[in-house]
Amino acid sequence: LPTLPTTWPRDPAQVLSELAKCPPIEVAPGLRIPVPCDPSARPPGPTSGRTHYPPMGVLPPRIDLTPLVGRVKNQEQVGVCWAFALSSVTEVNLRRQNIVEEISPLHLVAALSEQRLDASGNKGTAIAPERAWPYETTRACMLNDVLRRPDLDCEAAYHVQSGSWRRSPVIVGELARADQLGQYRVKRTYLSKEPDELATVLAEGRAVILGIRVDSVAWGGASARTGTLAEYGDGNRGGHDVMVSGYTWVGPVRYFRIQNSWGTDWGEGGRVWISESNLRRHIMDAAIVDVYARDVIVKS
C-alpha cells in the first residue's frame, strides 16, 4: 500500500486542516494521534452494540499502532489462534502503560481448557508472562482441550493426544508454577461488527481482536505475500483470530492492518492488509481487552 492515501471520503485538505488546528493527543507512550480541536467532533469511546458512528472525516485518515505492537508469533500446527491474538492485543495494552511484557499463550490455553478463563474474560486466573511459561508445540497440543474435541492437525504433527495434559506430571507441575507466577488478568468486551467502530477504537490507540472466516487461497502463501489479501467468497477454512493494529485509505477504499500468528514467513513479515469490503463480508466478531495487572486495571 502507498505510504499515504491520495483521497478519502472527505476532501483531504479539509480533513488535514481540521486535524492541524490542535496538537495531537498522546494516546500511549510515544504514540500521538491527531484529532479535531472541537471535543464534540471527536469520536466517542467504543460501546458494545452502538448504532451511531462518527463521520468518516472525524477520524484520522490513517492509524498505525506499530510502535506498540510486539513481535509476530507462530502458533504452528496447534489450533490456538485465539490465544495468540489475545496475548498480542494484551501486550499492546500493557505497552500503553509503559509495561513491556509478553503474555504466555500456553497459559491462556491451559486456563480456558480448565474453564478458569471464559470466552468473554476471566474467572480469576492471572496469566503468566511468556518468560515464565514459553510456548512449545507439544505442550500446546496436549493442553488444547478448549473445544472438547480432538485437535487432529496438532495430533498428526506432534504425535500426542490433544487434551491429554492431565496425564503428564511435567505439564501439571508447569501449570501450577505458571499459576503462581500469573500477573495479568484479562477481560474481553465485544464490539459490533461495524468497521467504523473498529476504526474508532484504533484511533484511540487500542488494538482489536478480530474473528474472521478465512480462505485457503486468499490466505495462502502466494496471495498473502503480496501484502494485501485478495477478495474472496465464503471462507473454506473456518474461523481464525488475528489482531488488527491500524487502517489506511487508498483512494475510496479503506484497508485494515492484520497481524497473524503464522510466523514471519507469512504475508509481509507476518502482517497483511485486508479491504473493508473483505472484512465486512467475513467478520465473525471483534473485541477489545482490558488488562488487570496486580489488581490494578490497565485499560486497553
Q: What is the mean pLDDT for each group of 10 consecutive residues in the chain (300 residues)?
A: 36 48 58 54 41 58 93 96 94 90 94 61 76 96 83 94 93 94 88 93 94 91 88 82 96 96 95 96 93 56
- At 132 the pLDDT is 95
Report angle CA 9, 279, 119 to the nearest 5 degrees.
130
- At 223 the pLDDT is 80
Name the one residue in this structure whose C-alpha cell is 478448549: 146
* Helix boundaries (H) for 230-274: none
Q: What are phi and psi of 279, to 5 degrees?
A: -65, -45
Residues 128 and 104: their CA atoms lie apart, in Å, by: 6
Consecutive H or E run containing 110: helix 105-113
Q: What is the pTM of this model?
A: 0.81
Residues 130 and 65: their CA atoms lie apart, in Å, by: 22
Residues 182 and 116: their CA atoms lie apart, in Å, by: 13
Of 129, 49, 82, residue with least CA distance to 291: 129
Identify each DSSP E strand in 159-269 by its residue range: 184-190, 208-213, 239-250, 253-259
Q: Is 84 helix (H, G, I), strand (E, B) or coil?
A: helix
Of 12, 293, 261, residue with least CA distance to 129: 293
- At 145 the pLDDT is 82
Residues 271 and 275: their CA atoms lie apart, in Å, by: 14
What end-to-end distance do the CA atoms of the chain give, in Å? 27
Q: What are phi and psi of 28, to 5 degrees?
A: -165, 160
The neighbour count for residue 22, using CB atoms within 10 Å, is 12
Q: Which domains does the chain have, with CATH numbers?
A: 12-37+58-69+189-290 (3.90.70.10), 81-187 (no CATH)
- At 33 the pLDDT is 59
- At 148 the pLDDT is 72
Residues 3 and 147: their CA atoms lie apart, in Å, by: 41
- At 5 the pLDDT is 35
User: In this structure, what C-alpha cell is assigned to residue 54?
Assistant: 462518527
Residues 76 and 197: their CA atoms lie apart, in Å, by: 31
- At 188 the pLDDT is 84
Question: Which residues have a Cβ under 8 Å from the Cβ of 167 and sit 6 or more positions away?
Answer: none
Q: For residue 208, what are the β-bridge partners? A: 244
